[in-house]
Structure 1
């Protein structure tokens, strides 16, 4: 079954989604698991002996034993002059991004039995034309030339618009809490896609890593003595510490659904479970999550949005009785969409709703919306190409309407079409006369040139003979001066 592939290569996690075509229609974009245990995989690459790369969980497992061949965090290095050291070789960040895309495309092709008809890559909102050009070149070097690239917030908005109606010229704010940073962007709907308004805002925090660190810090308060005893040069101790951090991240995700979670503490000196409640986690994370509405408001102001009247907003959205947001510009938005796995935390949605006085939209799987939106964009690319081909193949067939106001015009056009369809008479081409060259004249000119050359040679010999007889031979220098 034909399908298109959407890929989101985030700073810390990579996801994929596909949209399948059944008959003449495309189905909805659906996420596709990239591993047997999770929908997403870590954005990590490991170089193997043949020079190729493995990604995701297999690469992460190699980090403990062959860390020099493992690389992560390369999405933020695209466009930098200095390449990244992988083993004993330097590799550009854009080449690493292309390798990650290639790995995902291969995994999906193995699962579905054949390659995708088209691939769309959702990339960082901070990548401009220069960085996207570098990634395109790197993808082409791997044979991936049929790839469309869209900014991550545009992909998130595309996914939202595929499920909820967004009016033409409607504005949507997208806030993404990624694994290593935060970005906010305001977009305007202009079918079939979205345009960015203002400048995307990027900040180092809040991030999913910040929330993981808060959970780990809380666990460390209880087991700090055992953690401090770990030897970073010991492979077993490093594995134990990495496992504890992974448990903290898993507990953070579990608290999005449950009022409590447990962290499995498996250290050389102690093995136990550590309980963590959602209320305690919210106390730890509130300071980070309160930054989300503040940064969102900065992005809204960057887009030049101001307070609109209630009647204008009601006419645009079809809703009445909305609560004013106090002139922050949020009332000019059709929607506020939160993306990234960390916004699944109920407190994040609550804080944004209280500050902006609007209900933010949070998907059930916010870490997958960018990949789904990329797949929606890929469908649009193929549909647009199909429409253009169909338009080019169409012929102008006009229906004759007797007695209509345009009947004379129809007759003229139809007569013109008939004349054009009639075979044209053959065109007779008469060869142009070209005067043949005068061979006798050319022969006479050639004899004259040879005669002049011979006379010059004889004159030179005679002059030399006379000078020699008189006993005053001239040196080459003296001859030249004369």
Structure 2
């Protein structure tokens, strides 16, 4: 059955969702497993033939072949310096494209055929230059039917597919991911959503901050054992990686359990460390208290007040944390909405954007790509009722505008420099003629003029 694929390429985790087309009808977007579950680490490992493996398979290689393993590359997109992977320097856009290709191949293998269209939900900090680099890298891999969608927009689309959003209604999306937090105000328009004000992005708080707090609590109990680890020993490096993974598991479990037991397996130690939700909330509170304040900054940038807000949507796995929902609700005077699986919302929204690319009305069936300030074109209820009939139209080609090699100011400076050099050449020739015809004439003035022109 034909389908479209939505990919959420997060800094630390990647997810995917698909929407199926049955004749002229689309099914709702649904998460699709990529490995053991719907979430895989955003990690790549270069193998001998030059290709990449991703997810848990790549993460497992970090213990024994860490020089071939790379992560954090989504945040390096647009940097002049490439990343060292093994013995080769690879630009970040090639790594981003490799991760997208791996997801598309994994889903195609599971579904039996490739997707009709792919939409990728990405960081709100990516502008036209970064998405242009990704499009170029994807084209080199043969992936051209790809639409890029900022993550807050994808989350808003997922919300609008489940709950009707009236025109002009503002929606605030707060996403706390593994490597940072972003807050964006969007407003429903007749043809989709548009960003209002200035999206806010910051590295803290993040899911990793909370992982570090749990690890610090464990280290306070077993600091001597951790300090004695020999990182040249593969088994001891693996023990530390296992303990870090236990901290992540504990954070996730404490969102719905009153307590958790962490397995601690270190040289000479094989025990469990008990952590209650109340203790975890004490550790997490200084980080989570920043979230409502950051959301308010984004709201104020849109010249709105909390009273103007109709809904606040929290996304990202950490959004499940009860304390976070409580803090946001108290500060903004309205309870935030959190999906059953908030870490999958952006992938589902990306799948909905891919559906819109293939929708009936060519004028309303594409996702316009600009900067963070963008609007997704579509009818009022295109994403709200997938039981309505839509006919698939031919896919629009992805057009990539060439990036200018030089800015206008640089062109002007170059022309002025050429003019100066030309004038200097004329003066030199004139000076030589004067010297030849009138040997006693002084050319100091000429040389002074030339020096002045060169500077």
TM-score scaled to structure 1, two decimals?
0.74
Q: Distance in 2 between matches of 1:3 and 1:47?
A: 29
What's the CA shift string for 1:30-83, capped at 9, x where partnerless? 0111112x2100000111111111110111011111111111001111111111
Aligned to 1:155: 154
What's the CA shift string for 1:375-424, capped at 9, x where partnerless? 011111111466889xxxxxxxxxxxxxxxxxxxxxxxxxxxxxxxxxxx
Alignment of 1:252-271 (within 5 A): 252-271=251-270
What's the CA shift string for 1:140-193, capped at 9, x where partnerless? 111110001100000000000000111112111111101011111111112443
Q: Secondary structure at the match of 1:162?
A: helix
Does structure 2 retain, via aligned residues, the 8 Å contact 1:166–1:334? no
Q: In the comparison of the two structures, how many residue pairs are matched?
A: 365
Q: Secondary structure at the match of 2:168?
A: coil
Q: Secondary structure at the match of 2:359?
A: helix
Alignment of 1:208-227 (within 5 A): 208-227=207-226
Aligned to 1:376: 352
Displacement after TM superposition at 1:22 (Å): 2.2
**Is residue 27 of structure 2 the alignment partner of residue 21 of structure 1?**
no
Aligned to 1:471: none
Q: Distance in 2 between matches of 1:168 and 1:240?
A: 53
Q: Secondary structure at the match of 1:367?
A: helix
Aligned to 2:318: 342
User: Alpha carbon RMSD of aligned pairs, Å?
Assistant: 1.3
Q: Secondary structure at the match of 2:343?
A: coil
Aligned to 1:165: 164
**Is residue 253 of structure 2 the alignment partner of residue 277 of structure 1?**
no
Q: Secondary structure at the match of 2:275?
A: strand
Higher relative contact order structure (alpha carbons within 8 Å, sequence separation ≥ 6) = 2
Alignment of 1:288-307 (within 5 A): 288-305=287-304
Aligned to 1:57: 56
TM-score scaled to structure 2, two decimals?
0.79
Q: Structure 1 residues 82, 364: CA separation in 2 closer, same or farther (over 3 Å shift)? A: same
Q: Distance in 2 between matches of 1:23 and 1:128?
A: 36
Q: Unaligned stretches of 5+ in structure 1?
A: 306-328, 390-482
Q: Distance in 1 between matches of 2:361 and 2:47?
A: 39
Q: Which structure has the larger Rg over C-alpha atoms? A: 1
Q: Structure 1 residues 330, 365: CA separation in 2 closer, same or farther (over 3 Å shift)? A: same
Segments of 4+ moved more than 4 angstroms: 384-389
Q: Distance in 1 between matches of 2:350 and 2:364?
A: 21
Q: Secondary structure at the match of 1:186?
A: strand
Q: Unaligned stretches of 5+ in structure 2?
A: 366-455
